[in-house]
Amino acid sequence: MTASNEILSGLRVFASDVAQGFLDITHNGFALLGLATVVAALALGVRPDLRETGETHLAGWLQARKADAMGLVPDLTGILRATAADPGELPKQQAAVAFWLSRKYRVAPEPISALVAEAYQLGVKAKVDPTLILAVMAIESGFNPFAQSPVGAQGLMQVMTKVHGEKYDLFGGKHAAFDPVSNLRVGVRVLQECIQRAGSVEAGLKWYVGAANLPDDNGYAEKVLAEHERLRQVAAGRNISPFASPSLRTQVPAQPEAPGPEQARVASLS
């Protein structure tokens, strides 16, 4: 055997040894990886808390990567501050009212659904028809939670914050007037007080708008009662156009007492 043949033979043996070693290492590596996977799966099965922790960390990492890519500051608590609900999860009657209001006032059904559900809960407690509560919201603000009148009535129910500020103390202060649910709860309480004081719904609405001792309320009570009648029919399953104008039964108002400090509100109504 010549020297060149000996060199080639040695190279072949070397290459064969290297290839076999690589295969052995790869095989052992995959075996170790498979073993590690089995061990990890068993550990996660025995300790589900580890799995939950891992999933939480992974979700956080993915959210952080997404936030970096979009240039946004993540805040996963934002959903907790949103006033919204799935209209499909409401009872049939409430869902019909929510969709009707959504169409008429051109607002999303999700926030309207949350307000409808809250109005129905509050109405039961306060013994005030929920559709009346929603009608007051509709006429007062058109479901704009940031509305403010020239005389300072604020939020969905246009409550005079300077008059009923102490009621907002339970919700953290006067700025809660612009939180839809807080404003709704305070507004329902004020409406309940007005109806009880006046002795009827129509007279109570005049109290609510501050027109108890004025010659008229610029048609406020009539507008609310008209919307109330529409909503009552929608809640009863009637197919009512959002722009229908049903006739109203005339009500005899109770004799009002002396007007309160909200009286100036009626002057701002059109």
Give yes or no: residues 8 and 124 share one domain: no
Residues 200 and 261 reside in one and the same domain:
yes
pLDDT in tens, 148-170: 999 999 999 999 989 998 999 99
How does residue 179 score in pLDDT terms, banded at 50, 70 and 90? very high
pLDDT of 84 reads 92
d(CA 144, CA 154): 10
Q: Verify that 60 and 108 share a domain, yes or no.
A: no
Better-scored residue on pLDDT, 137 or 60? 137
Identify whether residues 114 and 186 lie together within a single domain.
yes
> Is the domain of 110 the same as that of 23?
no
Are 30 and 7 within one domain? yes
Q: Are residues 242 and 135 in the same domain?
A: yes
- Among 17, 44, 76, the domain-final residue is 76
Instruction: Say whether pLDDT at 199 is over 90.
Output: yes
- If asked whether residues 70 and 95 sit together in one domain, one would say no
Same domain, 130 and 23: no
CA distance 46 to 100: 52
115 found inside a domain: yes
pLDDT at 1 over 60: no
Rounded-to-10 torsion of CA 70, 72, 77, 79:
-60
Residue 6 phi/psi, 5-degree rounding, is: -65, -40
Residue 189 belongs to a domain: yes
- The pLDDT-based confidence of 49 (bands split at 50, 70, 90) is low
- At which of 44, 76, 108 does a domain end? 76
Q: Which tops the pLDDT comparison, 253 or 45?
A: 45
- Same domain, residue pair 193 and 245: yes
Higher pLDDT, 17 or 100: 100
Contact 206, 253 (CB under 8 A): yes
Let me know if residue 82 belongs to a domain. Answer: no
Query: Which of 19 and 55 is assigned the larger pLDDT?
Result: 55
User: Could you tell me the CA-to-CA distances from 225 to 39, 51, 193, 197 in Å, in that order?
Assistant: 70, 57, 18, 18
What is the average per-residue pLDDT within 62-87?
A: 78
pLDDT recorded at residue 255: 35
Instruction: Give tens-digit pLDDT for 107-130.
Output: 999 999 999 999 999 999 999 999
Do 51 and 117 belong to one domain? no
Q: What is the mean pLDDT of residues 1-21?
A: 59
Overall average pLDDT of the 176-188 stretch: 96
Range in 57-61, 128-132, 221-225, 237-241 with the lowest mean pLDDT: 57-61
User: 96: helix, coil or strand?
Assistant: helix
Segment 101-111 mean pLDDT: 97
Q: Is 146 a domain residue? A: yes
pLDDT confidence tier of residue 252, bands split at 50, 70 and 90: very low
- Flag whether 143 is in a domain: yes
Q: What's the structural domain count of the chain?
A: 2
Whether 81 is covered by a domain: the verdict is: no
If pLDDT is split at 50, 70 and 90, which confidence band does 9 have? Answer: low
- Does a structural domain hold residue 183? yes
- Mean of pLDDT values over 226-251: 80
192/128 same-domain check = yes
**Domain range for 171:** 87-268
17-31, 56-70, 227-241: segment of lowest average pLDDT: 17-31
Q: How confident is residue 29, by pLDDT bands cut at 50, 70 and 90?
A: low
Kindly tell me if the per-residue pLDDT of 261 is higher than 50.
Answer: no
Question: Given 52, 76, 100, which residue is the final one in a domain?
Answer: 76
CATH number at residue 187: 1.10.530.10
Q: Which bin fits 216, alpha (ψ -120 to 50), beta or left (φ > 0)?
A: beta
Confidence of residue 15 (pLDDT cuts 50, 70, 90): low
The residue-averaged pLDDT of 240-255 equals: 56
Give the pLDDT score at 73.
76
Q: Is 62 contained in some domain?
A: yes
Are 83 and 181 in contact by the 8 Å Cβ rule? The answer is yes
